[in-house]
Amino acid sequence: MVAYVLAKSKVHGALEAYTQYSYLTRAPWYVGPGDPKNAHLSMTYFGFRYVLPSTSGTLLRVPYPN
């Protein structure tokens, strides 16, 4: 997972964008007649996350954008 901080404020919180990639392979022990021997799947997820402002210092650990 790769995350990017788009905006950050001590008063308003932080807005982050993230991407995640997953690759799956299926190789069953038994394959019925006419079925494929294996299967492959690539998945990519994109999303946005809003981090609420906090007085506990949690937001201070989110890096500022360059």
DSSP 6-38: EEEETTTEEEEEEEEEEEEEE--S---TTS-S-
pLDDT tens string 7-51: 998 888 899 999 999 999 999 999 999 998 999 999 999 999 998
Q: H or E element: which one contains 55?
A: none
The number of domains in the chain is: 1
In a domain, 66, yes or no: no
Predicted local distance difference test score (pLDDT) of residue 56: 64
Q: How far apart are CA 43 and CA 55, in angstroms?
A: 37
In a domain, 37, yes or no: yes
Confidence band for 66, pLDDT divided at 50, 70 and 90: low
pLDDT tens string 9-21: 888 889 999 999 9
Predicted local distance difference test score (pLDDT) of residue 2: 86
Predicted local distance difference test score (pLDDT) of residue 53: 84
Structural domain range at position 49: 2-61
Q: Establish how many alpha carbons lie within 13 A of residue 25's alpha carbon, considering only the half-sphere containing its beta carbon.
A: 2
In a domain, 31, yes or no: yes
**Secondary structure of residue 61 in the 3-state scheme:** helix
